Amino acid sequence: MTDTSLPAAADLGTFERWLSVWVALAIGGGLLLGNIFPGLFSFLAALEVASLNLAVAVLIWAMVYPMMVGVDFGALRQVGDKPKGLVVTLVVNWLIKPFTMAALGVLFFEYVFAGLIPPDDAQAFLAGVILLGAAPCTAMVFVWSNLTRGDATYTLVQVSVNDVIMVFAFAPIVAFLLGVTDIVVPWDTLLLSVGLYVLLPLLAGYVTRRNLVAKGGEAAVDAFKSRVQPFSIIGLLVTVVLLFGFQGEVILDRPLVIVLIAVPLLIQSYGIFFVAYLAARAWRIPFSVAAPCAMIGTSNFFELAVAVAISLFGLGSGAALATVVGVLVEVPVMLSLVAFANRTQHWFPKGGDAS
C-alpha cells in the first residue's frame, strides 16, 4: 500500500492548523443558537429516518465522500496480506471495549457518584454507556482517518468487517451486560447507516476516482482531495453546531448530570485509544493504518446506541440521555486524539511492510 502519512505541520493550511479553535467556537455557537432558536433546532432534530438525523447525515456524507475518493479498489485484496491493523481493531472493539465501558459505568455510577445520582438514574446511565461501548463507529471514523491522512482502503475494510461483526455480536453483548433478554437490533437504523455512510459515498468516490485517474492519474486524485478538504472541515464544524444546538437546553438545564455522565466516557475514550495505539506501535504497524485502527474503537456508532436506548427505555430516559452525552463528548475527544496522533506519527514506521 502507498504511504499516506500526514505531511509536516507546515504543509497544512491555516484553517486546519487552527481546527481546535474553530471547533471550540462551533460548540459555543451551537449552545448559543440552540437556546436562542430552540424552535429551529427542534425542527431540524425532528428530521429523522430510522433514528438518523437527515441534516447531520447529509453533512457526514459530505465529510466521508473525500475519503472514499482515496480508496484504491485494486489494493483491497492486499489488505488480507497485512492483517495486523485489523487484528488490533477487532480485539479492542469486541474483546475489550464493551467490558471496560461496563466496568467504568459500574465504578462511577454505583460507587464514585453514588451520593450525587439516585439509584434509578445510575442504572439508566449505566445502560446508556453500555450501549455506546458495544457499538463501534461506522461513519465518523472516515472523517478522523482522513484528518490523519489514514490509508483509505484499509480504513474501509476495517469499518466493513466491524459492521459485519456488529450485526451478530451487538445484541448478545448488550443483552449479557445489561441482563436484558429482549434486545432487538434496529435493522432499519443499522442498514440505512451502512448504506448512507459507507455504500453510497463509496460508489460516488469510485466513480469520481475512476474519472480523475483517467484524466490525470493519481496526481489528479490528490489535487481533487486537496480542493475538497476545506469543505469537509466546514461540514464537520456545522455538524458540531447542530449536535450541540440540538442539546443546548439540556446541557444548560442539567450541567452537573452531563458532566457526571461524561467522566467515564472520557476515561473510556482515551483509554481505549491508547490501548489500540500503543499496541499498534509495539507491533510496528504503519501510522496510516495505526491511527484509524485506534480511532475506530474510540469512536461510537451513536445512532444505533440512541435508537436502542429509546426503544428499550424511552425517549426521556437516563439511558437515552447518556447516549446523547456520548455524541457530545465524541467530537472534541476525537479531534484531540487526531491532533495527538498527527504529532506522534514519527513513533511508527512509514512504509506498509510492517502491517
Q: Let me know the angle formed at the C-alpha of 60 by 80 and 247, rounded to the nearest 5 degrees.
A: 130
Residue type, 134: A
Torsion of CA 291, 297, 299, 302, to 10 degrees: 160
Q: What is the pLDDT of residue 11?
A: 47
Does 10 map to a domain? no
Q: What is the pLDDT of residue 4?
A: 38
Between CA 216 and CA 214 the distance in angstroms is 6
Domain hosting 301: range is 15-344
Between CA 324 and CA 306 the distance in angstroms is 7
pLDDT digits (tens, 9 = 90+) for 211-228: 999 998 888 988 898 888
Does 5 map to a domain? no
Q: What is the pLDDT of residue 344?
A: 96
- Find the CATH number of the domain harbouring 222: 1.20.1530.20
Number of separate domains in the chain: 1
Is residue 163 pLDDT above 80, yes or no?
A: yes
Query: What is the three-class DSSP state of 284?
Result: coil
Torsion of CA 276, 277, 283, 288, to 10 degrees: 120
Q: How many CA atoms lie within 13 A of 7 on its CB side?
A: 8
pLDDT digits (tens, 9 = 90+) for 41-65: 999 989 988 788 889 888 888 888 8
Does 234 map to a domain? yes
Is residue 183 pLDDT above 70, yes or no?
A: no
Contact between 285 and 93 (Cβ < 8 Å): no
For range 171-186, the mean pLDDT? 78
Between CA 261 and CA 258 the distance in angstroms is 5
For range 246-271, the mean pLDDT? 91
Burial of 81 (0-12, 13-18, 19+ CB in 10 A): exposed
The answer to which of 160-164, 271-275, 276-280 has the lowest mean pLDDT is 160-164
The larger pLDDT score, comparing residue 75 to residue 138, is at 138
Q: Let me know the angle formed at the C-alpha of 320 by 189 and 295, rounded to the nearest 5 degrees.
A: 65
Q: What is the pLDDT of residue 7?
A: 41
Residue 183: left (phi > 0), alpha (psi -120 to 50), or beta?
beta
For range 20-32, the mean pLDDT? 89
Does 293 map to a domain? yes
Cell of 178: 445489561
Kindly report the average pLDDT of the chain as a whole number. Answer: 86
Note if the pTM is more than 0.75: yes
Q: What is the pLDDT of residue 345?
A: 93
Query: What is the three-class DSSP state of 79?
Result: helix
Does 2 map to a domain? no
pLDDT digits (tens, 9 = 90+) for 335-345: 899 999 999 99
Q: What is the pLDDT of residue 316?
A: 78
The larger pLDDT score, comparing residue 108 to residue 253, is at 108
Does 3 map to a domain? no
Is residue 10 pLDDT above 70, yes or no?
A: no
Helices 287-298, 255-282: axis angle to 10 degrees equals 150
Q: How many CA atoms lie within 13 A of 161 on its CB side?
A: 22
Q: What is the pLDDT of residue 109?
A: 95
Does 8 map to a domain? no
Query: Nearest 5°: phi and psi at 43?
Result: -65, -45
Bridge partners of 49, per DSSP, are 52
The CA-to-CA distance between both ends of the chain, in Å, stands at: 10
Does 300 map to a domain? yes
For range 262-274, the mean pLDDT? 96
